[in-house]
Structures are given as C-alpha cells and as structure tokens.
Structure 1
Amino acid sequence: MEIDENGVLRLKGRIKAAKDVSFTLNRPAVLSGDSSIAKLIIKHYHERFNHGNHNTVMNEIRQRYYITSLRSKLRKIAYECQWCRINRSLPKMPSAEGDLPPERLRHHQPPFHVRGLHDIGFASIHRSKRNLRVMYSDNGTNFVGANKELMNIQEVHEKMKKEADVRTIT
C-alpha cells in the first residue's frame, strides 16, 4: 500500500506493465467497510447494476476501490434494500398443478378401480374377484421402449388389445 499525492491510501497492483489500464484499476483506493463513504459507494453500485447478484456488484466495485469486508457489507446493503426485500420475497409465478384425471374424481367406485403404475413391475390387485379397469403410467423410458417394441410386433399387440377388451381394461 502507498499514499498518493492526494493523500489517498492506494493498493499496489501487480499489473503495472499492462497497457490501456486505468490508474484506478491498477491502484484502487483502499476504504474501510465501516466508513460512510464506502457504504454509499456500495449502495450506489448495488442500485446501478439493478440490484444484481453479489458477484457482479463486487466485481464492478473492485475495479475502482478496495473495500474491506466488501462481501458482508454488500449483503447487509442488499438485506436492507426495500426493492430487494419486496422482489426477492414474492414467488415469480404461482405454482400451477395439473388437473386430476376424471377417473380420480368418480364417486361410488370400488377402491383400486383405477390404478397408477410407476415402474414397480407386474402387480395385480383384486377386490372381490374383480381386476382393475383403468391403468395409468408415467412416461418412464422402460415403458416407452416397451411400447415401441410391442408396436413392432403387431400380432402380439393385437392379442393384448383383444385380451384387454375382454377384461374391459382401458
């Protein structure tokens, strides 16, 4: 560190030989993070860069100033910033859940009349000697691959469709 001709404490940089680099980038002014001028500078850069993330604001500040404990001071400024408190606390979009399938909304149906399948292998649930009527599954890769294979074997696919029709399975 050194004191320049204006009495400002400056940090000695290691890029003295770099061409087309400003003096403030080569020798940034050293400020205490607790000083009021440092807080005003941090607040100015925070607002100037649209309340951006901390790394962006810190990078821009460090090109002209070396402020001690900059990260914690910037976090405090952002925490006290009314704009940041309002806009970062609200969800950006309301969570939208899909509608339930109509089979889940039917009343006066026996349990397991409609069944969901999630890659658990073959399972059969019986209720008073009746099998399931409707089955849903996710688009797991094993189901998609099995569907492609079954479509290739048309005769097997036709037999499965006939058997499902006999048992009234959709």
Structure 2
Amino acid sequence: MEQGPSKTSESILHHEEKVKGNSSLACITPDPERFGTLEKLRAVQKRVLNFLQGICKRPCREQLMNILTINRDVETDAVFIRACQEEEFPEEIRCLNQGHGITNRKSKLFKCTPYLDELGVLRIKGRIDRIEGVDMDTKRPIILPQKHRVTFLIVEYYHRKNYHLHNEIVVNEERQRYWITGLRALVRKVANACVACRIRVARPTPPKMADLPKERLSPHTQPFTFTGVAHLKSQWAAGTRRDGAFVARRGVPRTILSDNGTNFRGASRVLKEHIERISTSAVEQQYPTLEFKFNPPSSPHMGGVWERLVRSTKSILSEIWPKAGLKEEVLRGAFADVEQILNSRPLTYVPLESAESEALTPNHCQGQF
C-alpha cells in the first residue's frame, strides 16, 4: 500500500514592532523611552542615518534628503526632535504645511508664531532676526513639548552639563536654544529624579529620642543631688591637686555620672577597692545612696548637659586668665568667679518692656533647701 506524501508544517518567526504616534520619521527614529541619556540616543540615531545613507539609492523628498546629508552630531537631534514634534503637535504641523496659520484657540502654540524650517523642525519666530553673531537656535528656538521623553532627555543633559547646579542656570541654558512650555516645572522634575542630586541633598532621618533620664526629672531636690563629672585638662589646671572640696561645699551627691574616660574608670576601681577595705556601718549610714554611673560607650551626647557648662567654664577662664601656669590659690579664685557668672545666667526669658519681672537664675535656688 502506497503512502501519500508526508505533510510537514513550517513556521516563520518574525519580529513585529508597532510604531508609536503618527510621525513620518518614526520608522527611522529610535524609541527615546529605551534610552537614559541624550548622548546614547544621539549615537544610535547617528548610526541609523549612516545606515540609511549607505542603502538609499533612489531619489528622496527634499526634507528627507536634507536629513540624510546631516554631518554634524549636533544636527542629528533634528531627526528625533522632529519626530517628537509630529507626535505632540500633528494638527499644528498639518496647518503649517498647508500654508495656514494655527486656528485652534485651544492649541498651546496659538499665541506663538511657529513655522517649519528646511528640515521640517517646528520653530518659533522672534524679533531679533537682524542681530549679528547669534546662532539661529537663539534667534528662532526649537519648540518642544513639556511631557515628551525627548524633552526630558534634553533637559537632563543640560542638568548634567552644568554639574547639577541651580535650576535657574539650566533654565537659562535651555532658553538659548529651545522653547519649552512649563520649562521650570520640567527642570524641577529632572532635578528631583536625578540620583546624584538626591544623594547630595539627602539628609539622614534622625532616630526617635529616648525618654529623659530620671536624674533630669527630679523636682524638689537639692542642687547637685545628681552631678555630672567631666575631665578638664588644660593649661589652667597644671600642677593642681585633687581633694574633696566639692563635696565639702555642696554635700555628698546621690548620683555621680560621667563618661567612660580611662581616668574615671580607674578612679572608680580604686574607690571600690578602698571602700571595701574600710567599709563599716558608720560609713554606710553616712553615705547610704552614693552611686557612680557611667554613660554607655560611644554616647557622648548623654553627657551634653554638663559638657556644655564645661565649655562655658573654659571660655570664661580663657578671658580671665589667658596665660598658662596658674597656681592653685589663683585657680580657686578664678573658679569662684566662673561659678558666680554661670549661676547668674538667666534660665527664663524676660521681655525688655517689663520693668518688674526678674529673670530666674541658678542663684535663686541656693537658699531654697
């Protein structure tokens, strides 16, 4: 039994791409949505024109022939700019090709004086044609729509060309060649989308501040009940000795706070050893609540309350005795002056118009307890 011819199936693979818009140059213009910079779009457009110049043998229309004979890279922009204009302003270009003016009052170009140049690019006429030494782009700038990708790439190029500087610089550079509706809004949009600018102006989000420690929230307690200690190492303290004068004047504090300086850590260890050796019931009864606390490591801000007063102390000392090498007696007198000045600083705001009010100072608290 003879078998019939076998049937074979053939499939043809091909690529189809829909041309967006109704531009006559859309078939020879790369899709600007696929490019991130104007330089890349220019390079691809130049390759397309070079390819067309090699294969195009038959006569073309005058405008297309002018486009294919473009040599300078800067003139390559006319191809995708014209395609951009034909997508956004088809009715206006049709009216101009027919020799009519724009009659649609809703058109963005109704109040302008647009025309088509020899390449078919839409430009706006001005009143400075007689000026000499000025480019045609400045005399008659190219019209560009605000929301097209080509316009975005052009503005982004000038934004990078001017090193991400102030937006008004970019606006001024754009207006030398282009007429763009809503230019300032577009420049702001480009700057907001620029990664380099976003990194440059970025600010870290501050963490949520924790609650204040109980030492800062202790009303009806004597001054220096909670005491912060800082190491004042400077030329004024050279050759001085250490003793318990603070405690003798202000009393024994309940809590002493300090940072993690090696001197404070060492002093804490030595004090613990001595206290354990001489610990008696009388000592425990006399100092029942004395506690020495250290701030967490790498957190100098937790001692900012007394560190700010240390800065004020050093500033006053530098004005009283700018020279180095003070003896102990002179240094004690200087610290007494510093104490008086700091305790006289106002803690509340007093308006100048009020003659009866008095500013609250730390000196007001000296005799309250």
Counterpart check, 1:102 vs 2:310:
no
The higher-RCO structure (CA 8 Å, 6+ apart) is 1
- The corresponding residue for 1:58 is 171
The within-5 A match list for 1:130-145 is none
User: TM-score w.r.t. structure 2 length?
Assistant: 0.28
Measure, in 1, the Cα distance between the counterparts of 2:116 and 2:365.
92
The structural deviation recorded for 1:127 is: 4.7
Q: Which amino acid aligns with 1:18?
A: I
Query: Pick from 137, 142, 152: which aligns with 1:24?
Result: 137
Counterpart check, 1:116 vs 2:345:
yes
- The corresponding residue for 2:194 is 81
Post-superposition CA distance 1:54-102 (Å, at most 9, x none): 11001001101111211111111111111111101238xxxxx994323
Measure, in 2, the Cα distance between the counterparts of 1:78 and 1:36.
15
Measure, in 2, the Cα distance between the counterparts of 1:116 and 1:29.
66
Bigger radius of gyration, 1 or 2? 2
The structural deviation recorded for 1:113 is: 6.9
**Amino-acid identity (%):** 33
Moved runs in structure 1, 4+ residues, more than 4 A? 117-130
Gaps of 5+ in 2: 1-113, 205-303, 315-334
Gaps of 5+ in 1: 92-96, 131-170
Looking at secondary structure, tell me which structure has more strand per residue.
Answer: 1
Residues 28/99 of structure 1: CA separation in 2 closer, same or farther (3 Å cut) = same
Post-superposition CA distance 1:111-154 (Å, at most 9, x none): x9711269958969775998xxxxxxxxxxxxxxxxxxxxxxxx
- The corresponding residue for 2:182 is 69
Residues 49/129 of structure 1: CA separation in 2 closer, same or farther (3 Å cut) = closer
RMSD: 3.7
Residues 39/115 of structure 1: CA separation in 2 closer, same or farther (3 Å cut) = same
Measure, in 2, the Cα distance between the counterparts of 1:23 and 1:74.
24
Residues 102/128 of structure 1: CA separation in 2 closer, same or farther (3 Å cut) = closer
Residues 56/113 of structure 1: CA separation in 2 closer, same or farther (3 Å cut) = closer
Residues 129/51 of structure 1: CA separation in 2 closer, same or farther (3 Å cut) = closer
Q: Match of 2:344, SS?
A: strand
- The corresponding residue for 1:10 is 123
Measure, in 2, the Cα distance between the counterparts of 1:79 and 1:128.
54
